[in-house]
């Protein structure tokens, strides 16, 4: 039983709904230097945002009584930031119907762009962008994360990846 479940996962495709990529509203993101163990709603606008101010060395705020320093980090050129969430089972069916309705007008155009065979299967899952961003605020404890912070290094990855994966010339 269990092995057949695993099998389903391997076969599973998680479809990213393309429509959500251009509809996504802008979101405000902060990357905190601490682990909040539980995910869920939080009154960020009530406690965090009003406490933010521009100090001599960048932005200042406090969280749980600790002083944080931060600065805006821009998403590297050529990239867009997205927040994505998996669709729940029930929601997925609704979403599917809905998206089909809303696309009706352009049906002909789509069919041309559509890949030749159906890619969706019954056991597949769906994910959609719920928000987008082009910058986020990076916070450090007491000081702004320096130039050798891991996050900053990670943001240079796409340019390096491009070189590794570019086609090489034939002899």
Binding track, positions 31-60, relative to other proteins; x by CB under 8 A: xxxxxxxxxxxxxxx--x------------
Q: Which H or E run contains 66?
A: strand 66-74
DSSP string, 114-151: S-SS----TT-EEEEEEEEESEEEEEEESS---TT-HH
3 binds other proteins (CB under 8 A): no
98 binds other proteins (CB under 8 A): no
Residue of the chain from 27, 52, 95, 144 that contacts other proteins (CB under 8 A): 27
Nearest CB to other proteins, comparing residues 13 and 94: 13
Nearest CB to other proteins, comparing residues 55 and 121: 121
C-beta contacts of 57-60 below 8 A and 24+ residues apart = 57/143, 57/144, 58/144, 59/137, 59/139
Binding track, positions 118-157, relative to other proteins; x by CB under 8 A: -xx-xx-x-x--xx---------------xx-xxxxx-xx
For the four alpha carbons of 15, 21, 22 and 23, in that order, the dihedral sign comes to: positive
84 binds other proteins (CB under 8 A): yes
Residue of the chain from 51, 66, 76, 98 that contacts other proteins (CB under 8 A): 76
Q: In Å, what is the CA distance from 139 to each residue of 30, 46, 102, 143?
A: 7, 18, 40, 8
73 binds other proteins (CB under 8 A): no
**Selection from 138, 139, 143, 135 nearest residue 63 by Cα:** 139
Residue of the chain from 51, 74, 94, 161 that contacts other proteins (CB under 8 A): 161
Residue of the chain from 50, 55, 72, 79 that contacts other proteins (CB under 8 A): 79
Decide: 70 and 139 in contact? Cβ < 8 Å: yes
Nearest CB to other proteins, comparing residues 8 and 54: 8
């Amino acid at each position: 039983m269990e092995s057949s479940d695993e099998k389903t996962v391997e076969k599973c495709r998680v479809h990213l709904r393309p429509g959500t990529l251009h509809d996504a509203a802008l979101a405000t993101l902060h990357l905190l230097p601490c682990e909040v163990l539980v995910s869920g709603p939080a009154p960020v606008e009530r406690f965090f945002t009003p406490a933010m101010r521009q100090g001599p060395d960048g932005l200042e705020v406090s969280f749980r009584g600790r002083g944080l320093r931060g600065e805006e980090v821009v998403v590297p050129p050529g990239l867009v930031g997205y927040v994505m969430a998996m669709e729940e089972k029930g929601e997925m069916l609704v979403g599917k119907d809905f998206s089909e309705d809303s696309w009706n007008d352009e049906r002909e155009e789509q069919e041309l762009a559509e890949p030749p065979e159906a890619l969706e299967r019954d056991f597949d899952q769906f994910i959609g962008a719920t928000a987008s961003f082009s910058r986020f605020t990076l916070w450090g404890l007491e000081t702004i994360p320096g130039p050798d912070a891991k996050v900053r290094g990670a943001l240079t990855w796409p340019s390096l990846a491009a070189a590794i994966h570019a086609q090489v010339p034939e002899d």
